[in-house]
Structure 1
């Protein structure tokens, strides 16, 4: 049985809020302009302070809705790109993300992609060639900043965003949801019978958007003769402008109004607000408007008798519904007038919200980003949602994930190695092929399951450096300074860990560079001895079945098996830069040939593939140009292996 709460209020209308926008954040994405005020009195600012990635673009198709929609920011690299908006923890807020494609790329192909909030899945964004779309969530801020991330889910469909807004709400609004664990995702907010297309700030002081819906077949719009409609005491406080119109039946003898909220096909938990206000002064002796709300033909709660000049709100919470359910307003037997409805809000209730990645790990990552500015471009939750971790971070699968791996090989890091000892779940720190100096922190010796990889840092001290160090068990292979007097290897290293093979894991960097742009279609590594142990990312571990690693470069598929029984994996876990492309000239003999990753920046671009040290392997790198850039000009590039020259690759127009 749903929780139903009926309120009748007969007090005067609140005055429209003053124009002061305390608690508003209005971000014009992709704009380089200074702050400006739009026609609604909303003050907008550019998005540079909130994000460090993406490209600013201008739409080709003009719009008449708002100048805010004329620019956007698009993201063509990384699994996810995140806005970070400082906000007071515990604040009730409305967050709205807006998207207007406007054919900015002149491809006439509006993309779809994922939207995340604080490490939680929010929505699948489906953009339009001509229309503006927006997505809205109401929740309580759980951290010191609001994180809104956009993630690519389809090949060649790059996420973008036009505007991002945060609006502070009264903490008493939408009272029948446990905001400590859940959020409300807006499904629709309807103003029935309105003359205006859209009602928002300043008419709604919280800047909720009310979309006008005209009367349907057999219906008519009616306007209230009341000069004020009191919402005093109603926690959700809808604006007068959304209540002054309503729809009812043309035929006064008709007893039902049917309406169809936009709900998912699969039954889900729903939160609904119905708003009713009588539009005329009725003769109490001869006129009565009384009706029930029916769901699938069953009446829910007591009859509604709207009152002139005040608001009646019916709230349905904690019930499930889907697109197959029917909703109707049905007159009671003693009613002399047909039903009416002024406004409606429909929300989907989220799954339980995550508390995010372990806070100690997050704090240490933040310090790491401060020390190495090249890492500062990553924001949002480092581990969540699942499959959308930062490219250089590996995470556990716990409800509150721990950071277990740091893959920082070839990131151009310089300076000393920081103290990672507070991240006590770490299993792998790969710092190979950087420019690190100084000593390896002795505190890392406390991480008993740690594998530390530091080869390729020529000025890093990996043996006795004349400083006091903690003791280490005799015979332990380690690059963590040890008082045993041994000299550890300077090419790869581990602190004590468990391995059935008795060998340590290393990484095989495959380096593409010198000649730009370079590209690669797929990489294959075949081990000639059985592999029984590996620590690394989950996807990488799975890829090592039977000693094979098969990477379909730029593939958006997590994995697939071809007709020869070879299982191919995406290369996202092994490299964080480069652009994904599809060939123009297709080759049917191998699906792996249809995509490639191209590198248009940096001198050297490296794949880093965890593998067991001392394993004898075959490494195969394949290249199929396929006129991916439509220039009919296949490039050449140098191929390097573990810092050694391998060969010069000369691509071909045909295979």
Structure 2
């Protein structure tokens, strides 16, 4: 099977259609530069042919890697900040290597965090403060989808992250709202806002929490679920809070709540669901001494473009607000499960 070397960085791309060890076949793109330059047999080209957004800038704290001393930054959070890079449709697998360096390009000494998406699927989350602010790299083996192009998008994490709108959900009729203290210094996956995690719902007199999310299409579709389980009580040594997770009747395993003040993040993807309503249940496991508890949930589904344009969000708080999530066909329903 042929492989392609494709190196994406905060500053650089590289692509080859020969052996990954033969750099003569690479296409190399220096993000943010305004000129072509050479490094031995490697030719670094400008990135302006691959993106229509963002601005070029030089870093203030230079590194010995010349291609990392320029970058393209994306100040417009409304646009899709993406690169479209041609891919060979006959090549089955790609090696993607990404390098990152903040270099205090904006003079603020505030290294950003952001996520990378490849063809509508999240690849990794990056914190440029990692490695004491020095350059670092990520690498992945990625299988081509045959489209002839890779669309690689950057989504900045800021103030709760990903340009998400969090709304209050409707508390299930059989549940109480519980408020407690959490560790606000902890870093959680997906960077949920702190207020989201300090409130939870817990069933009253039963062992089950039932949640519903409305979606605009009835046909089977792929969904991405994120559950935030925060423990707000001090548990005795013989107490456990373990719950069974089901989505539209499908068993998705068990989740155990962490220690008091901590949050466990559970991601389920891909999940095949059918609209117009998705049903989620959290049920006390047979070995659990405590009922289930959940602080928040996010649900993302793919829509066809015509659905996105014509669909209007329900007025209920359960559906909440929604906004484009990194890619024009990825729309989140964001549900904060508190009163």
TM-score (norm 1): 0.25
Higher relative contact order (CA 8 A, sep 6+): 2
Asked which structure has the greater CA Rg, the reply is 1
Q: Hey, which of these two has a bigger chunk of strand by percent?
A: 2
TM-score, with normalisation over the residues of structure 2? 0.45
